[in-house]
A and B are shown apart, each in its own frame.
Chain A
Amino acid sequence: MKTVDIANRARRSLRNAKARTILTSLAIGVGAFTIAVSLAAGEGARQYADKLIGANVNPQVLFIVEDSALFDGGFQQPALQEYNPDATTTGNGATITQLTQADVDELAERDDLEFVTPTYQPQVTYITFGGVDKKFSADVATYDPTIMMESSVGTLPELGEQLADDAIVLPDSFGDILIEQNVIETKDELIGMKVTMTASKPSASLSSEEIQQAFMSGGQAAVVALASGETREFGFEVVGLSKQSATALTGTTSMQIAASKARAISEFTTEGTSSYQKYLGVTALATEGNDPEVVKAELIEEGYGVQSARDLQAVIFTIVNTLQGIVLGFGVVALIASVFGIINTQYISVLERTREIGLMKALGMRGRSVSRLFQFEAAWIGFLGGLIGSGIAITAGTLLNPWITEVLDLGEGNSILIFQPIPIVLMIIGLIIIAMIAGWFPARKAAKLDPIEALRTE
């Protein structure tokens, strides 16, 4: 018997048992719905994460360190290590070998890297705003031109451009604090305001000769001044307030200044210490036309630890994939339940149609063809279930997307449920195969039916 004829008969006999067909398909539909939604949510989350990273991180960016132990927090290290003058101890107790200025210069000379900027750690004693006496303390960081930032007040440089030497960017929240502290009345006042940072160099250990010299030249006051270290003021002008945007990956709580100034401050405060011109890491961009992954591999070969934008993406994708896997798991559980539904329905169908099967076999239909007839019916049920499930998922997802975007504050034009045709088609094909496997047991029963028994009229 021709496959097309079997498929047609299967379709007709399902149509003749509409209620049962639809109910069984619905069971599969629940699984299909869950899977379709999890696929769409995974895709949506990945695209959103991609957009997020794309908007925030230059894909060419590389973070280069001397010691890749920094990336895992140094957990793999032995507790006691040989002293290394280039090493520093991080907040969680890991000893990290730092990059020296020589390393930085070497990296800067490479023609596959540009914007080589070490992570300066400028530490200031206090900060004053607009000549008001009130002293504040805050974290100061280097402005990162590779990250896109939005301003709430004022203007920030374009992506890829560094701040002017005397410019400073404050987080938007600083404006609120300064209003509370009666330094300013509106945030607009901040633009153009002078900000002064006072940094101090720790006192050097003085030799008795130096003390003697100072005493002789300026008396006791000169000795105190010499011992208390040196302070220097750095002046800035506020150009803008940075705000937390919907697609901003990290909210910064630091005041941001140009790299040159950050360098000046950190070199001033560390001069004469072992930390002078030592850096935890370096951010750089692979130059246009150079694959950051290739540059990364080369740098790793040379002994550096390197992370690229893709590594950051991989971390986020791992989270997305795990969550998607969980939802997918629910879908699979629903499918397993529906498989028993198919087996049950098809067994009943075989019982109901004993005579029809008997007649077909009496008329010379092969057991294999009978078996295929029932498997095709199961396949149709799987196909219908897939259509129903994905249809409902697509309709509901499309209708709910704007609402979800609003509730989760994802930003205009972002959808968390993105339905792609190929995974859905593959899912429906998968469901058809699963349904056929489920239909195999009843189909075998039908194939083995004895026509004489089946056609007994009593």
Chain B
Amino acid sequence: MIRVENLTKTYGKKNNTFRALSNVSFDIPDGASVAIVGKSGSGKSTLMHAMSGLDRPEEGKVIIDGTDILTLRNKTVDRFRSEKIGFIFQAFFIQANETTYDNVALPLEIGGINGRERKRRVEEALRTVELDDKLKQKAGNLSGGQKQRLAIARAIVNKPSIIFADEPTGNLDSTTGAVIEDLLFKLNKQEGSTLIVVTHDHDLAKRCDMQIYVKDGEVERIDTKKGRK
């Protein structure tokens, strides 16, 4: 379970401050699919960064599996990200010059998983996203949809408990986007990992179990499939 408590993040100094997050609190149950919905500049990205340990808001807590990750040392936070978090970005951020295999192997290299186990996991992840026939291909030669599937393989290869997807379909046409969405939700159900989608696409948001609407750094409202909270 992820618990966010009174999260506040301020940019700038003294007279010229800007509150990106203001007193944000919510709970996310394990294995849920959650959409953080908001317009550009609403603070949804900042919220994602704080929840994944990339950013350190000055106030509040992000409690994941009973630990407030904002109090951890840098080294521990890095390991936490390496072991428990997967990222999917709008612009894919795959390494075009590397093979698909080496792209997917990166999180395992960082996590220190070697040899046969690494190979097995990479191949399994690529099979999951149906790219196992493109093992030795340069990632740059893949199509947009394939690139995002590659990014998904990279996100799931270390079996994270939470996957953050930042506008995962933003750079894709609607047909390809739909395929990616299906894949993400299928994995969410199969693997039991928590899926947190950051988006301004309301259709995508509606497919999630829970929608957190963010506006001007504050939680506007939270919807769940069971009803409005």
A→B interface (CB under 8 Å): 1-2, 5, 9, 12-13, 16, 355-356, 358-366, 369, 451-452, 455, 457
Contact = CB atoms under 8 A, between A and B. Distances in A.
Contacts of B95: 356, 359
B81 A362 contact: yes
Interface in B71-115: 75, 78-83, 85, 87, 89-91, 93, 95, 97-98, 102, 106-107, 109-112, 114
Contacts of A358: 93
A1 B78 contact: no
A457 B91 contact: yes
Contacts of A363: 81-82, 87, 106-107, 110
A1 B112 contact: yes
A360 B106 contact: yes
Given A5-B109, A457-B91, A12 B78 contact: no
Contacts of B55: 452
17 contacts: A1-B110, A2-B114, A13-B97, A16-B97, A359-B95, A362-B87, A363-B81, A363-B87, A363-B107, A364-B82, A364-B85, A365-B110, A366-B75, A366-B78, A451-B54, A452-B55, A457-B90
Given A2-B112, A2-B114, A452-B49, A359 B78 contact: no
A366 B97 CA distance: 22
B109 A2 contact: yes
Contacts of B87: 359, 362-363
A356 B95 CA distance: 7
Contacts of B110: 1, 360, 363-365, 369
Contacts of B89: 455, 457
A1 B109 contact: yes
Contacts of B90: 457
A258 to B, nearest CB: 82
Contacts, number: 60
B66 to A, nearest CB: 20
Given A364-B85, A457-B90, 7 more contacts: A9-B109, A12-B102, A359-B87, A361-B78, A365-B82, A457-B89, A457-B91
A369 B106 CA distance: 13
A2 B89 CA distance: 26
B80 A12 contact: no
A421 B145 CA distance: 53
Chain B interface size, under 10 / 10 to 19 / 20 to 34 / 35 or more: 20 to 34
A365 to B, nearest CB: 5
A356 B140 CA distance: 14
A363 to B, nearest CB: 5
A434 B1 CA distance: 50
Contact of A364 (B49, B80, B91, B98): B80
B109 A364 contact: no
A359 B97 CA distance: 15
Nearest to A368: B75
Contacts of B80: 364
B170 to A, nearest CB: 9
Nearest to B53: A364
A457 B87 CA distance: 14
A364 B112 contact: no
Contacts of A369: 110
Contacts of A365: 78, 82, 110
The 6 closest A-B pairs by CB, nearest first: A364-B82, A16-B97, A364-B81, A5-B109, A364-B78, A365-B110
Nearest to B111: A364
A451 B164 CA distance: 15
Nearest to B46: A452
A1 B112 CA distance: 5
A28 B152 CA distance: 41
A239 B52 CA distance: 100
A355 B79 CA distance: 20
Contacts of A360: 106, 110
B109 A12 contact: no
A247 B196 CA distance: 85
A5 B95 CA distance: 16
Contact of A355 (B93, B106, B112, B114): B93
A374 to B, nearest CB: 15
Contacts of A361: 78
B109 A359 contact: no
A359 B93 contact: yes
A16 B98 CA distance: 8
Contact of A455 (B81, B93, B97): B93
Nearest to A17: B97
A364 B55 CA distance: 13
B114 A364 contact: no
Q: Which of A9, A12, A364 has the most CB of B within 10 A?
A: A364
Contacts of B98: 12, 16
Contacts of B75: 366
A179 to B, nearest CB: 80
Interface in B158-214: none
A452 B93 contact: no
A403 to B, nearest CB: 45
Contacts of A9: 102, 109
Nearest to B154: A363
Contacts of B109: 1-2, 5, 9
A362 B112 contact: no
Nearest to B90: A457
Nearest to A5: B109
Contacts of A364: 78-83, 85, 107, 110-111
Nearest to A356: B95
A366 B77 CA distance: 10
Contacts of B85: 364
Q: Which of A2, A356, A362, A455 has the most CB of B within 10 A?
A: A362
A366 B106 CA distance: 13
Interface string B107-140: 1011110100000000000000000000000000
Contacts of A457: 89-91
A369 B91 CA distance: 24
